[in-house]
Structure 1
Amino acid sequence: MRNKIIRTIVFDAMFIAIIAIMAFVPNIGLITVSPLISFTLLHIPVLIGAALFGWKRGLIYGIAFGLLTLIQAATQPRGAFDPLFINPLISVLPRALFGLVAGFSFELLRKMPRLYQKGLFIAATSLVMTLFHTFLVITSIWLVYKADVLRILQIQDTQSFHWINFIGLLAIVFGALIEAGIAAVITPAIAVPIYHKYPFLLNKKEQNNETRP
């Protein structure tokens, strides 16, 4: 039992440290293309953690993801929309929900070990969850800060609104697909080898046997 607790603490510290490094080192986890366009890879450690440990770790790493992006937005803003992420409703809540749902999704997949060991299914889940994350964040921003978004984009008339709305939608879809594609490659590439090397992370019976004297 003690070894299990120590192992959990070590993995938690490692994953949160990775998320922190990716959040604060420019263009590693938060890649700024222009003041209005940026991509994130910070969701990938959350997906890996959720794939390995389930919904509890997914929730914890999702909250860490949100809190660290909140701090980054407050202390090192890099884009025009960063000030919006100081609000926990934008930075923390969607990421916590993302980690939670990702964890439950991977737990459901883990009930089918033969499928879980195949990276294709983890890749597909990672892709869908990344798109889900984008949907949550964009929807939150629009619901809470619609007026601010229009002001940042300097939209003043209906024609401009429809045009920029179309361009913005294309940018969001393109960015989401890039993030999803990268997550679909990296998540199984890391999670599957760890699963094979440390099967007790996923197999409760093996885990219980390991902790017995």
Structure 2
Amino acid sequence: MEKMVSLRGTGRFGVRQIAIIGMLSAISIILGLSGFGFIPLPTAKATIMQIPVIIGAILEGPVVGAMIGLIFGLFSIIQSLTAPTVLSFAFINPLVSVLPRVFIGITAYYAYKWTQSKYEGVRIGVSAVVGSFTNTFGVLTMIYVLYAAQFAAARGIDLDAAIQVIYGIALINGIPEAIIAAAISIPVVGAIKKRYKN
């Protein structure tokens, strides 16, 4: 039987952890490249690219989650350079595109660990909501802190209105993103955990 080395205890990568990092990172990148990582809603586009980070964190701990988030963030920089949008000036900064994505794995794992419930689905759902909000509010907060003036200029609004617009986007996008993340994560993580046990 292959010996698995858990990142939770030793900080070293086992074969399973490396495979999960690679597989879930690839899924996140494919979602971004294909456009399937964005779900159109009546008022916005909800992203699901944070879901592989959340799943990896719940299954294998915060270090694995952070590594998948790191790759997600680095992909975001590359995408901003190769297919620029009006906000690409912000996303080429790792403090905007990488740091919040690394924290998705950390907050999702500890939300799962610290949620007290006898129902596994509740723990997974809380983790998914926390991880998703970490992505949405983390990215937009860094944009506000570092690029409020440029954001206002790009949107054609007054600087004083930037905070309302940014956090308005956070709420409009963040709530459906969190709901979708929970709806997908609960059955997926549940199924994988059952497979682990078997």
Same fold (TM over 0.5): yes
What is the RMSD computed on CA atoms of the aligned residues?
A: 2.5
Q: Deviations over 1:130-182 (max 9, x none)?
A: 123211111100000011001101125x8xx54x7656544431211110010
Equivalent of 1:24 in 33, 44, 48: 33
CA-CA distance at 1:15 after TM superposition = 1.0
- Residues 2, 60 of structure 1: alpha-carbon distance in 2 compared, 3 angstrom cutoff: same
Task: Provide closer, same or farther for how the CA distance between residues 167 and 155 of structure 1 changes in structure 2, counting only shifts above 3 A.
Answer: closer
Report the alpha carbon displacement of residue 119 of structure 1 after superposing the two structures with TM. 1.1
Aligned to 2:113: 107
Instruction: Give aligned pairs, total.
Output: 187
Structure of greater relative contact order (alpha carbons < 8 Å, 6+ residues apart): 1
TM-score (normalizing by structure 2): 0.82
The aligned residue for residue 54 of structure 2 is 47
**Equivalent residue of 1:198, what SS?**
helix
**Residues 58 and 145 (structure 1), Cα distance of their counterparts in 2 relative to 1, 3 Å cut:** same
**Cα 1:101–1:124 shift into 2, 3 Å:** closer
Note the 1:1-213 alignment, pairs <5 A: 2=2, 4=4, 5-25=14-34, 27-30=35-38, 38-77=45-84, 79-109=85-115, 115=118, 118-156=120-158, 162=161, 166=164, 169-199=167-197
Q: Deviations over 1:28-59 (max 9, x none)?
A: 114688xxx64321100000111111111111
Residue 62 of structure 1 contacts residue 95 of structure 1 at CA under 8 Å; is this kept in 2? yes
Moved over 3 A (4+): 30-33, 164-171
Structure 2 alignment gaps of length 5 or more: 5-13
- Secondary structure in 1 aligned to 2:156? coil
Distance 1:28 1:184 in 2: 17
**Could you tell me how far 1:124 is from its partner in structure 2?**
2.2
TM superposition score normalised by structure 1: 0.77
Identity of aligned residues (%): 31
Give the whole-Å Cα distance in 2 for the aligned partners of 1:2 and 1:68. 32
**Cα contact 2:112–2:123 (8 A) shared by 1:** no
- CA positional deviation for 1:23: 1.9
1:28 alignment partner, SS class = coil
Distance (whole Å) between structure 2 residues aligned to residue 14 and residue 169 of structure 1: 32
Partners of 2:140 and 2:167 within 8 A in 1? no
* Unmatched 5+ stretches in structure 1: 201-213
Larger Rg: 1
**Residue pair 1:48, 1:191 contacting (<8 A) in 2 also:** yes
Provide the C-alpha distance between the structure 1 equivalents of 2:107 and 2:169, rounded to a whole number of angstroms. Answer: 25
Instruction: Note closer, same or farther for the CA distance 1:72–1:137 as it changes in structure 2 (3 Å cut).
Output: same
In 2 relative to 1, CA 138–184 (structure 1 residues): closer, same or farther, beyond 3 Å?
Answer: same
Question: Is the 2:47–2:177 Cα contact (8 Å) retained in structure 1?
Answer: yes
